[in-house]
Amino acid sequence: MKLSIIGAGYVGLVAAACFTEVGNEVICVEKDQSKIDSIYAGNIPIYEPGLDELIDKGIKSNKLRFTNNLEEAVKFSDVIFLCLGTPQEDSGKADLSQVEEVSSKIAELITDYKLIVEKSTVPVGTHQLIKKNIERYSKRSVDFDVASNPEFLREGFALQDFMHPVRIVVGAESERAKELFKELYKPFTDGGNLLLITDPTTSELIKYACNSFLATKISFINLIAELCDKVGADVTQVAEAMGLDSRIGKEFLRAGIGYGGSCLPKDVSAFIKIYESNDLDNGFLKEIHKTNERSKKRFVEKIEEVLWINKNKKIAILGLAFKPNTDDIREAPSIDVVKKLSERGARLSLYDPKAMSSFKKLFPENNNLKYCEDVYSAVSDADALVIVTDWQEFKDIDLKILKSKMKLPIILDARNLFDPTTIKSLGFEYYSIGRP
Ligand code: NAD
């Protein structure tokens, strides 16, 4: 098939690479020319394991192209995927300005049938707004469908998730659109077995329901961790026992500093707003959000409790990305940690395997904030080590070397990376989440 993907971000790049890999011809449209230049120079603007090779392969096969010319892409393709950002507005609602802008432009360019697909996460009912917008801006009577096809990839495992999905959700009305999706997703869905076709409204709602449920699991276990901290119980054992029950499942039951990233925080907020705009109050999700905020706050307070005075203390921070195997720092808990410790006058030495260049844009280097080349230079002469992201590299730290480099062997671990008994036996003062 001939496809266009609008937006070369995390979702757009992965979709473009994977759709090309299974034999489609793809044009990816990106308005930021520097991203296109960077891709053609061999530097993919995001870090996602395996993505650079796949994009390189697609470009070399002449099946994948990048452009800032929307017209070229619209003319070329049968199916147009909107992979645009839908960030959070100050009110908590999803900001749909990128979707509105692009759909208006597409309207002016369509001359024959197109299937326009919302792959971005958009509020329930957005397909109707896009449809109306296209009708409003098109210069002639045009034949098109608007469908919903939410994306469920996890950053860090995006290629695997896209190529081998556990399900694909499509919300389409016309038979023509449904048939196009069946054809397109055949290579990914075990001959169609994993393809769930609904109406567009239901499909839009499914994405928010999934992300809100995942956020709920994380906040739930963090709530249990709060109590474990008070009564001396072990949250990892609680989670293990809960997770063995197949009705509960073990995923997303790891206590920590709370969820971050470009999806869960904004989607929970947007879902709350969707309820409000339908005259309903989702008090339940509001509590999930509050619990998450409290998890971050509690950890930052713990640093002060443990170190007493933070001013002038050298604190090493390991992990800036919102989770391992990505360079994405959107809504990362590390932002809260670095902001608060900087305000308290601590001297910070930061290290992350992939996220330092984006973090530097938020927090430029200064006398009290330095970026380091590796774990051991970050912890050198530190009064304490704070672990914020669970990169494998941190799990593999040589604890004896670590101890020899630090001024004081104090670790505050927001991801429960180490066994408390083992690490304490090595002479560390160790604080984790919900474990004695
Ligand atoms: P992103 O911000 O990384 O990518 C959006 C891209 O669109 C950017 O490169 C931006 O420059 C480009 N863009 C903006 N306006 C444009 C225009 N007029 N023409 C062409 N390009 C334009 O966002 P993302 O993380 O890829 O997420 C995209 C959507 O998918 C969001 O709705 C998000 O909620 C959803 N989603 C994201 C993930 C994830 O893990 N990142 C997973 C599932 C769903």
What is the residue-wise DSSP string for 208-263?
Answer: HHHHHHHHHHHHHHHHHHHHHHHHT--HHHHHHHHHTSTTT-STT---SS---SSS
Compute the distance between CA of residue 354 and CA of residue 136 in angstroms, rounded to an integer: 44
What is residue 192's predicted lDDT score, i.e. its pLDDT?
Answer: 67
Q: CA 312 → CA 299, 348, 371, 430, distances in Å?
A: 19, 9, 17, 21
Tell whether ligand 1 has an atom less than 6 A from the beta carbon of residue 325.
no
CA dihedral 372, 373, 379, 382 (to 10 degrees): -30
Q: What backbone torsions phi and psi does residue 146 show, to the nearest 5 degrees?
A: -115, 130
* Dihedral class, residue 368 (left if φ above 0, else alpha if ψ from -120 to 50, else beta): alpha
Tell whether ligand 1 has an atom less than 6 A from the beta carbon of residue 31.
yes
How far, in Å, from the CA of 225 to the mean position of ligand 1? 34
Give the residue numbers marked as catalytic: 263
How far, in Å, from the CA of 120 to the mean position of ligand 1? 7
How far, in Å, from the CA of 89 to the mean position of ligand 1? 15
Report whether 55 contacts 16 (CB < 8 A).
yes
Tell whether ligand 1 has an atom less than 6 A from the beta carbon of residue 12.
yes
Dihedral (CA of 246, 251, 255, 260) sign: negative
- From atom 38 of ligand 1, which residue's Cα is the shortest distance away? 11
Supply the pTM of this predicted model: 0.95
Nearest atom in ligand 1 to 154's CA: 40
Report whether 8 contacts 30 (CB < 8 A).
yes
Tell whether ligand 1 has an atom less than 6 A from the beta carbon of residue 83.
yes
Tell whether ligand 1 has an atom less than 6 A from the beta carbon of residue 151.
yes
Probe target for ligand 1 pocket from 82, 118, 127, 151, with the most ligand atoms within 8 Å of CB: 151
What is residue 415's predicted lDDT score, i.e. its pLDDT?
Answer: 98
* Per-residue model confidence as pLDDT tens for the chain (436 residues): 999 999 999 999 999 999 999 999 999 999 999 999 999 999 999 999 999 999 999 999 999 999 999 999 999 999 999 999 999 999 999 999 999 999 999 999 999 999 999 999 999 999 999 999 999 999 888 899 999 999 999 999 999 999 999 999 999 999 999 999 999 999 998 766 799 999 999 999 999 999 999 999 999 999 999 999 999 999 999 999 999 999 999 999 999 999 999 999 999 999 999 999 999 999 999 999 999 999 999 999 999 999 999 999 999 999 999 999 999 999 999 999 999 999 999 999 999 999 999 999 999 999 999 999 999 999 999 999 999 999 999 999 999 999 999 999 999 999 999 999 999 999 999 999 999 9
Tell whether ligand 1 has an atom less than 6 A from the beta carbon of residue 329.
no
Tell whether ligand 1 has an atom less than 6 A from the beta carbon of residue 115.
no
Probe target for ligand 1 pocket from 4, 5, 11, with the most ligand atoms within 8 Å of CB: 11
Compute the distance between CA of residue 414 and CA of residue 421 in angstroms, rounded to an integer: 17
